Copies of this chain bind each other. A is one copy, B any other.
Amino acid sequence: MTKSSGRGGRPRASSRRTLEDAAGELFLEQGYARTTIDQIAQRAGVGRNTFFNYFATKSDLLWLDVDDTLRALPEVLAAVPAGLAPSAALREALLELAARHPHRGIPLALSQRETIGAEAEFRASGLERFLGVAAELGEFLAARSGRSPGDRLVHAASSAAVAALVSGAAGWALAGVERGALVEAVREAVDPVCLGYAPLLDAGPAVTR
């Protein structure tokens, strides 16, 4: 989406950032549910359709920073040292992803959740994101463990790991100003999962022993 000016074409107005700001204001003023896309576009001084030029859904606005970090996942996965055992590689990937997330990048919907009141929408839209992560992670794990991409163990391990990641990140985000480093919270949550699956994952692909 939004191919960054591949030479030529009408220049983008500063619309994207303006829309984000307008939305943030309105969410704080009226809450998420009571804010319509028309209002956001109008306050940003932009046509309604322009909104959909930058965001596919209203709920995308709840995930601005997170989406940035998530976009880096393929790169992170590629950078995981090749020598590691599958379970360690999985752990490493998740921690590195957490390390890349900006310290201030807490979704508005979480930091101001009473005001914004979008719990339901937030969770629903968030889960879809992390399902995507789980899929990517599954492919990665399959490759690193020499298993087929459809392998049940691989699927279960990546799902559980992502769930733990999310749990850790959520706990971190909700911890208030005194939260420590995201990486620590994630490590705490993810480690047991990697540990639990390690014996199976690292044993090599189903050698019919």
What residues of chain A have their CB less than 8 Å away from a CB belonging to chain B?
A: 120, 123-124, 127-128, 131, 134, 152-153, 155-157, 159-164, 166-168, 170-171, 185, 188-189, 191-197, 199-200
Whether A192 lies near B197 (C-beta < 8 A) is yes
State the majority secondary structure of interface residues on A: helix
| Chain B min CB distance to A120 (Å) | 8
Q: Taking CB as reference atom, which chain B residue is nearest A199?
A: B192
A126 CB, nearest partner CB in chain B, Å: 9
State the 7 A-B residue pairs at the shortest beta-carbon distance, nearest first: A196-B196, A163-B163, A156-B189, A192-B196, A127-B127, A159-B167, A156-B167
Q: B152 and A168: CB pair below 8 A?
A: yes
Q: How far is the CA of A170 from the CA of B131 in the complex (A)?
A: 13
Residue pairs across A and B with Cβ atoms less than 8 A apart, 29 shown, are A123-B131, A124-B124, A152-B168, A152-B185, A153-B188, A155-B167, A155-B171, A156-B164, A156-B167, A156-B188, A156-B192, A157-B192, A159-B163, A159-B164, A159-B166, A159-B167, A160-B161, A160-B163, A160-B164, A160-B167, A160-B189, A160-B193, A163-B163, A191-B196, A192-B197, A192-B200, A193-B196, A193-B197, A196-B197
